[in-house]
Structure 1
Amino acid sequence: MFVCASFRTKGEPKGVCHKSTIGLLPYIDEEILDRGLDVLVTSTGCLKQCENGPVMVVYPEGWWFGKVDSENAVDAILDGLEEGEPSQDHLL
């Protein structure tokens, strides 16, 4: 699972993803552990989806999610991952 952290080429964090996902990363990790999911979470550089940010990508499924800016959004995405279907509420 990739979570955009908006790091740019010069190493400066900018944008909506950086502001929103920094606080959510610990929650995402905790929820994955609590649910017993076999998922590795990695924060990334800018994924060039700023208008949809914060952005999360689930691979190998190739599911892109936007507006992942709350614990409720994370829960919906992880629920979908457990069910094998992407959460339609945040799917890009």
Structure 2
Amino acid sequence: MPRPQRHVFVCSQNRPAGHPRGACAHKGASDVLQTFWQELQNRNLYAEIAVTYSGCIGPCDQGANVLVYPEGVLYRGVQKEDVAEIFNEHLIEGRPVERLLAPAEVW
């Protein structure tokens, strides 16, 4: 498999309920990850884009968090309904989705 042009990491961190940091798993991360995988399959972009689940990658209280490389763009508060927009705007067109970007003080 060739190296993908972009690599998407979806935080799937799970912690006990009530943990002070929170967890993306409690904020819909599983649905986000499944939707990314479904979009990848529907578009047949396996050679261009990789999607991987990960542990904690950022501000847990603002999850679900999604990190895109090589740009190092961190999205926060991502819901499954946002995945198609991230695919269209960022992964295909190269324009980060501004409304979902983690602020500079966080990332």
Task: Mark yes or no: TM-score above 0.5.
Answer: yes
The answer (yes or no) to whether the contact 1:57–1:65 under 8 Å persists in 2 is yes
Distance 2:10 2:62 in 1: 13
Question: 2:32·2:78 contact (CA, 8 Å) conserved in 1?
Answer: no
Q: Distance in 2 between matches of 1:79 and 1:58?
A: 14
How many aligned residue pairs are there?
Answer: 85
Alignment of 1:1-92 (within 5 A): 1-6=8-13, 13-14=14-15, 15-19=22-26, 20-37=28-45, 38-71=48-81, 73-80=82-89, 81-92=91-102
Cα RMSD after superposing both structures: 1.5
Query: Partners in 2 of 1:31 and 1:49 — Cα distance?
Result: 25
Whole-angstrom CA distance in 1 between matches of 2:96 and 2:58: 21
Q: Compute the TM-score of the two structures, normalised by the length of structure 2.
A: 0.70
Q: Deviations over 1:34-68 (max 9, x none)?
A: 22332111111112311221100010111110111
AA aligned to 1:2 is: F
Query: Unpaired runs of 5+ in structure 2?
Result: 1-7, 16-21, 103-107
Q: Normalising by the residue count of structure 1, what TM-score does the alignment of the two structures yield?
A: 0.80
Structure (1 or 2) with the greater helix fraction: 1
Contact kept in structure 2, 1:55 and 1:67, CA below 8 Å: yes
The one-letter code matched in structure 2 to 1:61 is E
Task: Give the unaligned 5+ runs of structure 1.
Answer: 7-12
Task: Give 4+ residue runs of structure 1 displaced > 3 Å after superposition.
Answer: none
Q: Give the Cα separation in 1 of the matches to 2:38 and 2:80.
A: 14
